[in-house]
Structure 1
Amino acid sequence: MCGICCIFYNNKGFSNDSNELIIEQGRLSNRGPDSSNTVHTCVSNNVSALFSGHVLHLRGKQIVEQPTRDEAGNLLLWNGEIFGGIQVPEEISDTTVLMNKLGECNSDAQILNTLSRISGPWSVIYWQECKHTLWFGRDVFGRRSLLWHLPTQNNSMFALSSVQLNKEDVYTEVPSIGIWKMTPSTADDGCYGFTLFPWQHIVWPGTLVRVKDNPNFQEKVSQGQSVDSDLVHFIIEGETEVSSQMPSLNKALPPRDYSLPDYTTEVTPIQYLQHLLEGSELLQTLSRQLADVLLKAVSTRVFNQHHRPTEKKYAGKSDSASYIPNVPQQSASNYPECNSEPHGRNMTSCAKVAILFSGGIDSTVIAALVDKCLPSEESIDLINVAFEQKPKQPAQPKKGKPTPVSDSDRWSVPDRLTGYTALSELNPSRAWNFIEVNVTEEELKEARQAHIQGLVYPLQTVLDDSIGCAVWFAARGKGVHGVGPHKGNPVHSTARVILCGMGADEQLVGYSRHRNKFKEGGWAGLIEEIELEVTRISARNLGRDDRIITDHGKESRFPFLDERVVTFLSSLPIHHKADLALPRGIGEKLLLRLCATELGLHQTATLAKRAIQFGSRIAKLENNREKASDICNRLTSLHT
């Protein structure tokens, strides 16, 4: 994971010093705390470029400084992980491998083929010196952030960056619709020509309209910015479609005689799921196949982490033992210390992997699978967020003091309760560090103003604000031990890899709006809605989450969006993944619930979907009457 940016500017209007100041004041360095570097290059007598990289070292023995430069003068800024498609030796950085591959390319087709082969999350900026051409883009799911600022007038700059560099300039997200090529003009006019090589069969996010079929391509792609068409030219390379990691969706309708057994109140939800597994060899097979492909995705994302020398830290051995029923209470001597600090002082978890853990089915299945991947002696951080609740005080007599609000009431939000329930179902022999992240109203306001507003940008809805705030505090990882002999003591998760459950609802029919679509349009309407969900995921969620999480020098990883998982789920007909004729807590994400049942997560398997803004109670702490799609004035105040 890295913070990357480049700036192209006319020599008459800018100086190196002013551009470096812009970068220094930005948020790039937070993303890459291990190495920072800036390189200047002369494009022509009139145009210069600045490339800046800030590295979070996760793979390979040695830190590879960015931008990395080869003997031919090519420059690479890489913010991603190569999990497949190109072989990366375990002890070598994928930045080095990709630079070597791109340096061998002599044609546009070879560059496109190299980038399109990559499985894993990425955004890339590559300067091809011999052709004075800039290549850039994001993976088809948009799992890594990349913003652009397009020139608005003669001599104004063109910028690409992981985050907004300064609030005076308008930035929008680079659309994840293909791989881009930019050729800067060498003349005084300062023109920039952009060519899109679209992903195969790609559509505009949130629509089913193919990118190639849009007659107003220039207007569509520059939406949100005031672009001078005399300075910026966009074209689509009509003859070339780049191989995409986005599979086609199976649109088969259920057979006319298709139906699952009726659900009745005579059995519990978990009994119903168990009966389905026992009575259907097909569902049992698909459930196990999903578990297998998810296990591979999780395994890929937790292995091969560079071992960092760490400060002496607290290991948190079996932090859950005092909570889980039927597990013998361990004494403090069973909790090995990584430091010599006395009991009661701030501690730091030694875990290398953390999970955003609401106790919902997505995060709990991930936790159960991580447990199968990591050595038994390693601890795992489960980070659970709650926003302060201020219950109304009951009427008090005129005399006497008001009854204080108990601390447990302040943080007893739904996600905290389900988090502990899910914890009780996980492997009791594992050292689970259940970290309660408790956020007061004052902390929320301060962090939003100082950090979160600028990271959520350019998104600006109430939903973006709520999710952005919850994820930012979770990724920071500062809280208290929830259970164990150190319960209540401050703790800080410094795990650099954070696993998240994003992508499950979009593919497995998890949102409440899917039920409404099913009622209106039946199976055909639901299939169309799921197809839309997957196409718009790059524009709605993941760039924002990447900017938020990586602000703490940590990396987000999404097992449900592993290319193998997406391919498997897309290959299945919709009725093998969900059945919304069944009640909530069973019908949506049915296949995942069957998978959770076989993993022994019986209580978690039947929990209904609850969005993080409601589960953490940030929505209640803020304005209850706001709609998720409303523009959030708490965000826009920074950019007006």
Structure 2
Amino acid sequence: MVSAVLHLRGTQLCEQPVHDRHGNVLLWNGEVFGGASIPIYESDTKYVSHRLASVDDDSVSAEVAATLVVDALSMIQGPFAFAWLHVSTNTLFYGRDGLGRRSLVVHTPDDAKRSCFLLASVALNSQRDGWEEVACTGVFSLDLNMLGALPRLHPWPVRVVSVASPRCLPPLPPSVVALGTSFDADPFCDHADMMLAAKGLLQVLSAAVAKRVESIPTQEHADSARVGVLFSGGLDSVVLAALCHLHVLPTEPIDLLAICFDKDHNSPDRRAATASWTELKHLFPTRQWHFVAIDIASHQVDTHQPHMLVVEPPTSDLSSSEPPAVVEPLALFESTSGFC
């Protein structure tokens, strides 16, 4: 079991694989934002390992262990993919959160080719044969005591949200439900329930941003930003940047990472980003906003496309499309280069 770690939380990097006191082994690719009480600067990897260690008991069967693993992980709020080797039953548990927000792919054995059972964040070669995305419907278990055993699914518990829940918006007027019907949004937006829902959304979004940025490790250099926002200048990125301002220490800078593929570095997004940067400086003059212009030439797209096609299987969104389809992942790749 091998893992590479991107340090996002905790005062010290937590090396992986993680071995607990019982000898169980954890690979964790995720972030715990809720559902558990973890101090801001504590490693969530260590927390998950400790929580899974409570499953261990020499008398526990693999079936009971599976139930306990599902119970332990289903309470976690946040994106994750994991693999956990339970030593006492010689069982491998693995899976993703219910929304599938972290990549995990599996290669099952093929008798004809005598290949192995493999788990990875991305496919290990450009060949799609044999690789499948792990379903996010629950935890899978593989009995390593039986040669040729097939994985078993242990579903996540079903949690139903009532339409009467305060987290749900009020129903649209019947006239709006009909396809193709237009309506005046102002009276609906001024509705007390809508205003309450909008306020609730802002509060929840602000709390989510706070959880994300407050746990980021401190940088060695005082003038280095801990937080960077992918910044197109659109409403979503401006709101996120403003919320970051509320939860990052006043003395710390915030990086605004603006990507541009235009050869003249003057695309509509770049102009919008520049204008929004000016507005943020006006609204929050005490904050040091670093505008980081990231200009990507067309030859860089051509250079990185083969690599992206290799790590992209088993899906085929990029390989079945024209070269511009790599622009979005390339923007993320380039914006994080030098920051990790």
TM class, shorter-length: 0.7 to 0.9
Pair 276,243 (structure 1): closer, same or farther in 2 beyond 3 Å = closer
- 2:150 paired with 1:193: yes
Structure 1: runs of 5+ lacking an equivalent: 1-50, 200-241, 264-271, 316-349, 390-409, 477-491, 495-552, 554-640
Pair 1:433–1:161, CA change in 2 (3 A): same
Q: Structure 2 residue aligned with 1:465, among 326, 336, 340?
A: 326
Q: Is residue 423 from structure 1 mapped to residue 277 from structure 2 by the alignment? A: yes
Q: Residue 237 of structure 2 corresponds to which residue in structure 1?
A: 363
From 149, 155, 160, give the equivalent of 2:119.
160
What is the DSSP-based 3-state SS (H/G/I as helix, E as strand, rest coil) of the residue aligned with 2:228?
strand
Q: How far apart in 1 are the matches of 2:128 and 2:197?
A: 49
Q: Give the TM-score normalised by the residue count of structure 2.
A: 0.83
Offset from partner CA, 1:402-448 (integer Å, 9 cap, x none): xxxxxxxx122121122122223322332111111111111111122
Equivalence for 1:254: 172
Query: Relative to 1, partners in 2 of residues 1:92 and 1:475: Cα closer, same or farther, differing over 3 Å?
Result: closer
The aligned counterpart of 1:387 is 261
Give 1:429's aligned amino acid: T
**Greater gyration radius:** 1
Distance 2:250 2:198 in 1: 25
- Determine if contact 1:184/1:193 at 8 Å carries over to the other structure: no
Quote the Cα distance in structure 1 between the aligned partners of 2:40 and 2:297. Answer: 43
* CA distance in 2: counterparts of 1:251 and 1:377, whole angstroms: 38
Letter matched to residue 94 of structure 1: D
2:133 alignment partner in structure 1: 173
SS in 1 for 2:194: helix
Q: Is the 8 Å Cα contact of residues 456 and 465 (structure 1) preserved in structure 2?
A: no
Check 1:117–1:369 CA distance in 2 against 1; reply closer, same or farther (3 A cut): same
- Counterpart in 1 of 2:312? 456
2:15 matches 1:65: yes
AA of the residue aligned to 1:367: A
Change (3 A) 1:425 1:260: farther
Matched, 1:307 2:218: yes
1:173, CA displacement in angstroms? 1.6
**Alpha-carbon distance, 1:454 to partner:** 2.2
What SS does the corresponding residue of 1:135 show, helix, strand or coil? strand
1:52 aligned counterpart, secondary structure: coil
Greater relative CO, 1 or 2 (CA 8 Å, sep 6+): 1
Letter in 1 for 2:82: V
Aligned to 1:38: none
In structure 2, the residue matched to 1:437 is: 294
3-state SS in 2 of match to 1:77: strand
Q: Is 1:74 matched with 2:24?
A: yes
Matches of 2:126 and 2:145 in 1, distance apart?
27
* Contact kept? 1:456, 1:464, Cα under 8 Å: no
Pairwise CA distance, 1:293 = 0.8
What residue number does 1:146 align with? Answer: 104
- Residues 247 and 150 of structure 1, relative CA distance in 2, 3 Å threshold: farther
Distance 2:260 2:162 in 1: 38
Distance between the aligned counterparts of 1:167 and 1:130, measured in 2? 36
Q: 3-state DSSP class of the match of 1:298?
A: helix
Give the equivalent residue in structure 1 for 2:268: 414
1:150-169: per-residue Cα shift (whole Å, max 9, x none)?
11226420111112223356
Matches within 5 A, 1:41-120: 51-105=1-55, 106=60, 107=64, 108-120=66-78
What is the deviation of 1:309?
3.2
Is residue 169–residue 197 contact of structure 2 (8 Å, CA) maintained in 1?
no
Structure 1 residue aligned with 2:303: 446
Q: Which residue of 2 aligns with 1:125?
A: 83
* Contact 1:137–1:146 (Cα < 8 Å) also in 2: yes
1:524 is aligned to none
Give, in whole Å, the separation in 1 of the partners of 2:336 and 2:151.
36
CA contact (8 A) 1:125 1:135 kept: yes
Secondary structure of 1:425 counterpart: helix
Provide the C-alpha distance between the structure 1 equivalents of 2:162 and 2:119, rounded to a whole number of angstroms: 30
CA RMSD of aligned residues (A): 2.7
Code of the aligned partner of 1:458? P
Residues 477-492 of structure 1 mapped to structure 2, 5 A cutoff: none
Task: Give the direction of change, closer, same or farther, for the CA distance of 1:251–1:294 in structure 2 (3 Å limit).
Answer: closer
Shift of 1:185: 4.8
Alignment of 1:369-380 (within 5 A): 369-380=243-254
Distance change >3 Å, CA 91–CA 437, structure 1 → 2 = closer
**Residue aligned with 1:301, SS:** helix
Please show how residues 179-578 of structure 1 align to structure 2 within 5 Å: 179-186=139-146, 190-199=147-156, 242-243=157-158, 247=161, 253-256=171-174, 262=184, 279-310=190-221, 315=223, 350-389=224-263, 410-426=264-280, 427-449=284-306, 451-461=307-317, 462=321, 465-476=326-337, 494=339, 553=340
CA distance in 2, matches of 1:383, 1:248: 39
1:436 is paired with a residue whose SS is: strand
Structure 1 stretches of 4+ with a deviation exceeding 4 A read 246-253, 257-261
The TM-score, its normalising length taken from structure 1, stands at: 0.46
> What per-residue deviation string (whole Å, max 9, x for no partner) do you get for residues 514-536 of structure 1?
xxxxxxxxxxxxxxxxxxxxxxx
Superposed CA deviations along residues 352-373 of structure 1, whole A, max 9, x for unmatched, are: 1111111112211111111111
What is the CA–CA distance in structure 2 between the aligned matches of 1:297 and 1:80, rounded to whole Å?
15
Q: Alignment length, in residue pairs?
A: 314
CA distance in 2, matches of 1:59, 1:260: 47
1:179 aligns to what SS in structure 2? strand
Q: 1:353 corresponds to which letter in structure 2? A: V
Q: CA offset at residue 292 of structure 1? A: 0.7
